[in-house]
Each structure stands twice: as C-alpha cells, then as structure tokens.
Structure 1
Amino acid sequence: MNLEVKLNTNVLTNNNVAADYNRDLFHKTKTLVINVMSSPGAGKTTLLEETIKKLSKQYRIGVIEGDLATEKDADRIRQLGAKAVQINTHGGCHLDARMVVATLPEFDFEEIDILFIENVGNLVCPSGYDLGQNHKVAVLSVPEGNDKIPKYPQMFMRTELVLLNKVDLLPYLDFDVETAKEDLKGINPESTLLPLSAKTQEGMDSWYSWIDEAYQACLKQ
C-alpha cells in the first residue's frame, strides 16, 4: 500500500514569521546580527571571547548562547562584561527564531551594535533555520578533518563565511587547507574560507575587518 501525505503548510512557516519579526527589529535599531554555527568543540565561544576583547571598545556587543544545557558559555561571555542571554534547548539540536524572540526583551537594542548568536553545536540542523540574522558564519576546526565540508553540504551552502579555526595545529594534523578551499568553492562559490586561530590570534585581524565591513553595510541598509 502506498501512503501519500500532502503538506499544505510550510513546516517552517511559524519560524519564518518570527524570523521576519526579528529582522525588522534588528533593521530598525541598526543592529548587526551574526549567526555563528559549528560542530561541538570547533571553538565558537573562544572565538567570541577573543572578538569581544578586541572589539568591545569599538562596538557594544551582545550574545545569545544556545546549548542543550547549562550556562557555562554565557558565563564566559559575561565575565568579559558583555551582555549574554542563555537559551537551553533541553535536547533540541538548533535554535529557532521563536527562541530568539523570547530573549529580545532582555536586550536594549538601542545600546547594542552587534549581536552574536552562538548556535547549538551541530553541523546539520542549525543551517536550515532563519533567525532573522544579517549573516550566517560557520566555524570549522582543523582537528575535524577535511571531510566535513563535502559531508555536510547544507551547512556550507548556506553560510557566506567559513572560519577555519585552530590553524596553529596544522603542523600536527593531516589537514589540507587548499583542499578545504576547493571543496567549499565547489559547494558555494560565493563563500570564503578564512584560516585563523582564536588561540594564537593568527588570521584574526581578517575576521575583525570582515565584521567592520559587515557593520558599515548594516548601517547603510
């Protein structure tokens, strides 16, 4: 017996309505919003810590932290003096726009220039959900190996910048940067691979410059 199921409503409709609400607020307040995604352990929080240290005198920064449980990452951000709101998904593998909506009253967007959303560590689910952000950025780390871009194409199709973190470990691991660049180019020719190390600061100035350009573009929208 063949069973045919017809879906008359987009399953992401409610999410997209919430995303549009977020986007409108961010646009009105000229807040640059960057959705940062990666697998667990790629170094998202360390990257944000170093970014806040470097840019906090230039920009007022807020962070939404997404995790299954605990406020460990949010606490790390708060120790640097930045506003951080934790979202615990209690098993959910991604943030959605409605979760972000629920955090908005905790921020004064007249006092925030840049909002980073650190998504739940996962290379599959987060890429498919619009949060109302200006930009989606993926973080890939050298220890994960060269197979992640071709194995998880949806993530890298939907991100315009890929930060290749932990390049300080390149001498000790079998990772080829040029192969990663070619894999990304084959999946998403409009995306850019930026090698860096949040630990040693190698390549981080290029990341900071990218943020500066994105912020100036946000002000002109």
Structure 2
Amino acid sequence: YKIISYQEETARSVSGEKTKEIGNSLSERLATNINLFKNESSTPKQKKQAIIFVEYILLKLLDQDINHYSTEFYCKKNSINYRWLKRCALIVLNNAPSTPHRKKYVPNWLSQIRVQLTNLPIPDDKSLKWKAPGHILKQPKRWRIDNYAANISVSSTVHGVKGEEFDAVLVVINDDRSDTLFENWKSRQIGEAERVMYVACSRAKKYLCIAVPDKNKGAFLEILKDKDISFNILSEE
C-alpha cells in the first residue's frame, strides 16, 4: 500500500502480498457492506455498520493490533484519529463501484476496490497514536487524495494551527464566556481564553472576521481603537 508522508509528500510502497491477502479474506463482507451503503432502502443503522466495517479494514491495513472501538467512543473522545479514519472510509464507500452480480466480474471489481484502498493516504503508524484516542496532536496533519481531488487538513485544537496561516479566518466568541474574556482584555490579564484568541486572530493572511455578542460589541470596538486597529463593521445586528 502507498503511504503518503504529510511532511515530505513522498510515497513509499509496502509489499503487494498483503493486498491480496486482505482483499481475498474480506472481499465477500466488503461487497455486502458496500452494497448496504449504496442501497437507498438500507436503514441508517445498516449504513453505519458499513462504515464501521470499512474502518475495520483500514485499521488492519495500519497493522494496529487493537480492537475497533465504537463510533460513539471515538466521538466522545473527539479523536482526531477517528475523524481521519471515518473520512477515508466514506471516500471508499462513496467512490466504490457497486458489486457485480455475475461472478466472472468479481475479480475486476476487487481490483478496483484495491486501487481505492491503495490510493488512500494511510499514514505511518508513528505519526498517529491509535492507542490513545484522546491524544491531542500538537502539529496539524495533512493528507492529500489526488485521485479524488480531495484535500484533508485536520487540526485538533486552535493550538494545533500555530505557525499556520489561512486566507480567511472566522472567530466566533461564545456568548457565555464573552464577559470574562473582555474583562480580562481590558485589564490586560492573560489567561487561556486570551491565548486562544491571539492564536486565532493572528492566522489570517487576508481576511479576519470576528463574531461578537451584541452585549460586548461596544467593549470590543474600544479595544480595537485602543490598539489602533483598522476594521469594518459588517452588520449592526
């Protein structure tokens, strides 16, 4: 299988024997799950099961000797690893050709599926810590899927984008935390919220939009004027 490095953007190959072994041993179940996912009459539970099964195959490709946790477990942990895994599984299911009814076409169908899996950006097992679903990545990870014109860029927290810049950034200030945030800004107290805001607001190359609760709009404008920052008010509402 092709492994794409998010740093060097180079590819290296793994033994092709593994491809045949995985494809043959799981081909029937894979065919069933792809058909379930594509069938309009399938229930949400059946489609969810299809996704989980493809995730299981991807875990096998990563040589991870762990149990495949449930979707709920990963979601509760807000795991960046699972978000990557689910995206890859959905790409396989959405782009996989339907299973042929005639057996003579099955080998060609399997070959197409293997190409799908081969072109997935499966990362080196050292770059993802699957045994710690709640692990916070300190650096943003990127994987490209050129064959599907899809770019995947994932960051775990706002701190994960340190050093990264974007053409446009939208910052939304939570209404519940806004009072404390603005009081700290005015008194120049530096807390966690202020550090997060600094990181978020310093990443924009062209456009920075900040959504402020109405009750704090006046205080926020005063802060900007005090720091001699030019700005445009897009809406009074």
Task: With the length of structure 1 as denominator, give the TM-score of the two structures.
Answer: 0.27
Larger radius of gyration: 2
Greater helix fraction, Structure 1 or Structure 2: 2
Greater strand fraction, Structure 1 or Structure 2: 1
Task: With the length of structure 2 as denominator, give the TM-score of the two structures.
Answer: 0.26
